[in-house]
A = this chain, B = another copy of it.
Amino acid sequence: MRVVVPFAAETPKTRLESVFSPDERSRFARAMLADVLRAIAETGHEPTVVSTAPLAVADLELPEAVAAVTSVAVDERPLTDAVNARLPGGDGAADGIGAAGDSDRNPVAVVMADLALATPGALEGVLTTAADVAIAPGRGGGTNALVVRHPAFRADYHGTSYLDHCEIAQSVGADLETVDSFRLGTDIDEPADLVEVLVHGRAGDRALARLHEFGFVLDDRGGRVGVAREGDLASE
């Protein structure tokens, strides 16, 4: 199965700007991307990063086996258009795949680049359904992972895309399965989400390593658990 990972190379994770420097944001976004690519590769699939700007795979410091199966396509279009071009029944010419006319038949998965908690097991839950369309929803009605086997289904990532995708599937006669996963449901968008990386990140995860490198630790001084830089904790 083709697994597409859209990546906003030029404006990574703007909602994290209150806690990260621009350089840290960029490095953290690439670390999450690397973790997602590794998890996909470990399911036996070959990921294609669809990046808004040129991206050197070498810069992602992927394990050799992951780098060997990862490709990058540059597509400056908005997310929805870039994804739809690559779905079954899309324009087919995207990334030179499907030019032989088989693009209508091959299922395509779309996995967001900020699913820092994604594991091969969690991904397999959504990759292996038999449904025409399978979705692992994210918080706020988002579509964090999407698998499309139906040639008439088109994505729309604006607003509550999960609900829109349910409607679109129905309108084209595609059955839809919703996959229940905390790991896939957790996209790392804003400072509070960093807690999840510190709590559920696993040894070897790049994103977790970056947070440690930047000095972030869990902060449960208040009523809710948050994150803080170690130095800030010590100075108070």
Contacts and interface: CB of A to CB of B under 8 A. Distances in A.
Contacts of A220: 159-160
Nearest to A223: B15
A160 B225 contact: yes
A218 interface: yes
A214 interface: no
Q: Contact residue range for chain A?
A: 20 to 34
Nearest to A226: B140
Contact of A199 (B163, B186, B196, B218): B163
Contacts of A141: 195, 199, 218, 225
Interface in A101-129: 121-122, 125
Interface in A138-186: 139-141, 159-160, 162-163, 180-186
A111 to B, nearest CB: 15
Interface string A1-37: 0000000000000000000000000000000000000
Contacts of A162: 199
Nearest to A183: B180
Nearest to A190: B224
B200 A137 contact: yes
Contacts of A130: none
A183 to B, nearest CB: 5
A123 to B, nearest CB: 11
Contacts of A93: none
A67 to B, nearest CB: 27
